[in-house]
């Protein structure tokens, strides 16, 4: 009996010494706020950071010697198209291997509607990253009005306000607009402002794929600012870029507009990705917006009309050659009706045929996603350098090996660290990490993420700044980034010594209106 009691007391004593689940020692800690790195330790208990600095010699379930590697908060991708991928590939390996631990979906005006069933389903299954949602204005408008090219009636506007309010109560972080896309582009600014007022009254943010990122980019930035100013909510120019050689350099003016807006009290910011190529649908890239009202049946009829068809093709040719750089600068990433087209330029796919006719045919057959090389390096660096810009991928969670998608799906965050920090010195490492963690967390109201502080969720990335590499290219995009060694999501180790563990620690995140409603 005495021996048994001694064993019990010994076990209790050992248990009392296990203070933490994880202690990471001897790291170069970047706290996510832009401060200079400092040497120290981080202790984790459960899903939460428990201590930062010099952690005393206590027992822990797992003690890891970082050996001078860099420890940062998990990266937050505020413009993600991962909604389909998170269901098909829930581990999100392409994101984890970049250090991304949180994504915000529903950009460009498109989202599930209603949100509640999707979020409820997501909560029932393991996922690799944290997942938040915006509600899409295009989705709201289409549910109320279809793809009609006209102003909303008073009753229709009331219905849209109601859908926006419900989405916020369901857990949306805010409103996304896709004023470049059908049917959002048929909405006047005043309609968006009225919906934005509802979002703002419930604590939400507005992000916009603007009406134009080419010839009318300056006017579009002004509109985005106006939506925030008159809608009384934070507003963000998302994936900011300048498309078309004739427009290169306009980022000087667009950035000045954003800073001037802030000077007069408008809460305006930006996000961007680090590539000289964009990606969207072939139809969105080339077919004028007026021609897409009513869907493909109406487009087919317009194309068959002698006068309207002539106008349609002339506008497509101008956009293709003057804005998008010609058919050789447009690479087909995916065509559902013919997988063999992936990786070919429009010029290669057309051969001896008229590329405009081929493009129109592809759109009418179901459309293709396309990569467009039409952005300048100088504009990219100017936008990335701006203190109001955070990093966002505009990518998703692709099916590995399928089609030829934009490399931003695999390498956005690694590319910033490799190319724009280490190689080109466009950003310091501290500021790049701030743009990937603390700044987006602050912007989207993720109060318990984005910083290495006691009480914050343990979304952590341990990486080697000297070795991080993007690997994914336009020609061979299906290559994972390297140089990230460990990743924890809510304290769960997703990547260990560069290998996926198979353990998924992500969870759905809910915006301010639902959070307030569920508070005790």
What is the C-alpha to C-alpha distance for residues 138 and 191, in angstroms, rounded to an integer?
Answer: 12
Tell me what pLDDT residue 293 has. 86
Tell me what pLDDT residue 17 has. 61
pLDDT at 24 over 90: yes
pLDDT at 278 over 50: yes
What is the C-alpha to C-alpha distance for residues 395 and 408, in angstroms, rounded to an integer?
Answer: 6
pLDDT at 9 over 60: no
In 211-304, DSSP assigns E strands to: 235-237, 268-272, 277-281
Tell me what pLDDT residue 516 has. 66
For residue range 468-489, what is the model confidence (pLDDT) as tens digits?
Answer: 999 999 999 999 999 999 999 9
pLDDT at 138 over 90: yes
For residue range 437-479, what is the model confidence (pLDDT) as tens digits?
Answer: 999 999 999 999 999 999 999 999 999 999 999 999 999 999 9
Tell me what pLDDT residue 5 has. 39
Mean pLDDT (the chain) is 94
Tell me what pLDDT residue 294 has. 86
For residue range 336-346, what is the model confidence (pLDDT) as tens digits?
Answer: 999 999 999 99
Tell me what pLDDT residue 15 has. 41
What distances in angstroms separate CA 362 from CA 148, 183, 280, 295, 502, one per listed residue?
A: 23, 20, 14, 14, 39
How distant is the alpha carbon of residue 218 from its chain centre?
Answer: 23
468 contacts 412 by C-beta, under 8 angstroms: no
Q: Where are the alpha helices (DSSP H) in 82-188?
A: 85-88, 93-96, 115-123, 137-145, 154-170
Average of pLDDT values for 265-285?
A: 96
pLDDT at 18 over 80: no
Average of pLDDT values for 294-319?
A: 94
pTM for the whole thing? 0.93
435 contacts 441 by C-beta, under 8 angstroms: no
Strands 484-489 and 492-496: antiparallel
Strands 205-209 and 235-237: parallel
pLDDT at 6 over 90: no
From 102, 134, 83, 231, select the one nearest 513 (Cα to Cα). Answer: 134
Domains along the chain? Answer: 73-276+375-446+455-514 (3.20.20.140), 286-373 (no CATH)
């Amino acid at each position: 009996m005495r021996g048994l009691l001694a064993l019990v007391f010994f076990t209790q004593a050992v248990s009392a010494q296990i203070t933490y689940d994880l202690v990471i020692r001897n790291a170069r800690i970047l706290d996510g706020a832009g401060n200079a790195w400092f040497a120290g330790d981080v202790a984790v208990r459960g899903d939460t950071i428990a201590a930062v600095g010099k952690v005393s010699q206590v027992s822990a379930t797992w003690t890891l010697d970082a050996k001078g590697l860099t420890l940062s908060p998990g990266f937050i991708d505020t413009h993600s198209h991962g909604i389909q991928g998170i269901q098909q590939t829930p581990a999100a390996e392409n994101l984890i291997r970049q250090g991304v631990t949180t994504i915000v979906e529903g950009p460009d005006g498109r989202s599930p509607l209603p949100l509640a069933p999707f979020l409820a389903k997501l909560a029932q299954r393991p996922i690799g990253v944290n997942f938040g949602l915006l509600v899409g204005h295009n989705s709201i408008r289409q549910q109320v009005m279809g793809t009609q090219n006209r102003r909303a009636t008073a009753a229709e506007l009331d219905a849209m306000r109601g859908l926006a309010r419900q989405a916020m109560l369901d857990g949306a972080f805010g409103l996304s607009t896709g004023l470049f896309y059908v049917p959002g582009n048929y909405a006047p600014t005043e309609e968006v402002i009225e919906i934005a007022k509802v979002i703002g009254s419930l604590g939400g943010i507005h992000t916009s794929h603007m009406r134009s990122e080419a010839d009318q980019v300056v006017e579009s930035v002004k509109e985005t600012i106006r939506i925030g100013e008159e809608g009384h909510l934070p507003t963000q120019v998302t994936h900011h870029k300048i498309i078309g050689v004739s427009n290169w350099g306009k980022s000087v003016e667009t950035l000045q507009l954003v800073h001037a807006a802030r000077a007069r009290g408008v809460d305006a910011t930006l996000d961007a990705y680090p590539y000289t190529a964009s990606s969207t649908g072939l139809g969105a890239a080339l077919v004028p917006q007026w021609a897409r009202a009513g869907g493909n049946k109406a487009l087919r009829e317009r194309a068959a009309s002698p006068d309207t068809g002539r106008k349609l093709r002339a506008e497509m040719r101008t956009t293709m050659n003057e804005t998008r750089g010609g058919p050789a600068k447009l690479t087909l990433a995916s065509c559902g009706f013919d997988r063999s087209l992936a990786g070919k330029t429009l010029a290669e796919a057309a051969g001896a045929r008229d590329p405009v006719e081929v493009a129109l045919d592809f759109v009418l057959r179901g459309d293709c996603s396309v990569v467009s090389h039409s952005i300048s390096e100088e504009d990219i660096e100017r936008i990335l350098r701006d203190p109001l810009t955070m990093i966002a991928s505009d990518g998703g969670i692709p099916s590995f090996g399928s089609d030829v998608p934009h490399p931003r799906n695999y390498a956005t965050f690694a590319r910033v660290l490799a190319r724009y920090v280490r190689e080109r010195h466009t950003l310091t490492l501290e500021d790049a990490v701030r743009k990937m963690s603390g700044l987006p967390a602050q912007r989207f109201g993720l109060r318990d993420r984005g910083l290495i502080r006691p009480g914050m969720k343990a979304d952590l990335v341990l990486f080697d700044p000297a070795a991080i590499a993007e690997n994914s290219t336009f020609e061979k995009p299906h290559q994972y980034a390297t140089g990230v060694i460990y990743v924890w999501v809510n304290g769960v180790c997703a990547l260990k010594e560069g290998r996926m563990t198979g353990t998924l620690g992500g969870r759905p995140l809910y915006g301010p209106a639902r959070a307030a409603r569920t508070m005790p």
